[in-house]
Amino acid sequence: MSASRLGRLQSLLRDNDLDALVVTHPPNIRYLTGLSASAGAAVVGRDRCVLRVDFRYATAARTAADTTPGVDVEVFTGSIDAAISAGLSLLNARSIGVEAEHMAVAGFNRLLASMDGEKDHAPTLVPTERLVERLRVIKDAEEVAILREAGRRISRVGRRLRAFAVPGRSELEVAAAIDSAMRTAGFQRPAFDTIVASGPNGALPHARPTDRTLLAGEGVVLDFGGVYDGYCVDLTRTLQLGRVPARFRRMFDAVRDAQAAGIAAVRPGARAIDIDGAARAVLDARGLGEAFGHGTGHGLGLEVHEEPRLSKLAPAEEVVSAGMVFTIEPGAYVAGVGGVRIEDDVLVVSGGCELLTDVPVQL
């Protein structure tokens, strides 16, 4: 783990007049300390970080801290709120940031109550947003290396989709085959429930696989993601089983061209809404604007949906920068007919983007 992640956060604390930040979002804890755990907190002060975990994560936390300068581990018993509160006292922190997007109202109130005994110190809890996320959105060299490797591995699975999605198999069976191939390819787990949406089910962007049998003559959307060394990649292809109806071919070509336009629009300084707009314009021009109801892409990293969001709802001033990694995945969904979605993962580099995934786009 690079010590500079913690250092960069500590400099954000100073910029925001915070003495400390209570980091409770597990991907943020992992980012800063190297620890993967579903519970615990990293209490980050201006010059030290105390990782507070319970018994279950004691050994893993110590291992992570050993390779992350500036991180100490304290194992607590009892409540996490009391443990955080104790950590803040140790740091003598008075202006304390919490992760407002992640800390629940109840936890916030309990933390406030647990600091009650220290009225003379008068610490204040300050809701903050995106302090760690702002760092995470630009991947460092270590992260880029992991994501490139993950992209290569998911592409190997993607090139075998035609062997998995054969008429006569159920959606669930095809999903199981994909998941098994991801495991074999070295992924720790799926990044989300694999989508296999055949025929009319393709019209549901977030379909869940059913026991419906794939039939010759219909399309199937296959959308799957894997977690590799903690990092998520995500790939979608749409295949047609057998003869291709003209209407489906037109949808496919439109989405393929929309995706190409989206990818072509990616470069440092491009606005998120313009990348989305580039893909959307193609679908609009083919009469499929209404059929494309979601955004063009989302960031990838320790979470499968993270910043940046490429959508028409993105703030007008939001631009992408070198080191960002995200999906480009336009789609078109027509009830009763089916759907098409095509998704690849890109890394923004000087002058454009590098494709992390490499699977032919063919119906």
| C-alpha–C-alpha distance, residues 61 and 35, integer Å | 6
Per CB under 8 A, the list member of 18, 32, 103, 270 interacting with a second copy is 103
Q: Can you name the residues that pair with 220 across neighbouring β-strands?
A: 198, 239
Q: What's the token pair of residue 200?
A: 């009319």
- Please list every residue from 282 through 321 that binds a second copy, using CB under 8 A: 293-294, 313
Per CB under 8 A, the list member of 4, 109, 213, 362 interacting with a second copy is 109
Per CB under 8 A, the list member of 146, 204, 244, 322 interacting with a second copy is 204
| C-alpha–C-alpha distance, residues 227 and 60, integer Å | 19
Per CB under 8 A, the list member of 4, 14, 56, 247 interacting with a second copy is 56
Asked if 239 contacts 165 with a C-beta cutoff of 8 angstroms, the reply is yes
State in angstroms the smallest separation of the CB of 304 from a second copy: 10
Using alpha carbons, select from 33, 80, 84, 78 the residue that is nearest to residue 60: 33
Instruction: List Cβ neighbours of 351 (8 Å cut-off, separation of 6 or more).
Output: 267, 268
State in angstroms the smallest separation of the CB of 1 from a second copy: 16
- Asked if 185 touches a second copy (CB under 8 A), the answer is no
Q: Can you name the residues that pair with 238 across neighbouring β-strands?
A: 221
State in angstroms the smallest separation of the CB of 107 from a second copy: 8
Per CB under 8 A, the list member of 81, 133, 179, 234 interacting with a second copy is 179
Which one of the spans 162-170, 180-188, 236-244, 270-278 is the region binding a second copy (CB under 8 A)? 180-188
Which one of the spans 157-165, 185-193, 213-221, 314-322 is the region binding a second copy (CB under 8 A)? 185-193
Give, in order, the Cα–Cα distances in Å from 209 to each of 8, 27, 189: 43, 28, 17
Using alpha carbons, select from 2, 25, 7, 1 the residue that is nearest to residue 97: 25
Per CB under 8 A, the list member of 55, 119, 141, 351 interacting with a second copy is 55
Choose between 203 and 302: whose C-beta lies nearer to a second copy.
203
Which one of the spans 87-95, 177-185, 215-223, 315-323 is the region binding a second copy (CB under 8 A)? 177-185
Per CB under 8 A, the list member of 193, 229, 257, 284 interacting with a second copy is 193
CB environment 311-343: b (16+ within 10 A), e (fewer): beebeeeebbebbbbbbbbbbbbbeebbbbbbb
Q: What's the token pair of residue 285?
A: 């021009």
State in angstroms the smallest separation of the CB of 152 from a second copy: 18
Q: What distance lies between CA 20 and its chain's CA centroid?
A: 26
- Please list every residue from 231 through 250 that binds a second copy, using CB under 8 A: none
The H or E element containing residue 6 is helix 3-15
Q: Given the rule CB under 8 A, which residues bind a second copy?
A: 36-37, 55-57, 59-60, 78, 98, 100-109, 127, 129, 176, 179-180, 183-184, 188-190, 193, 203-206, 208, 293-294, 313, 335
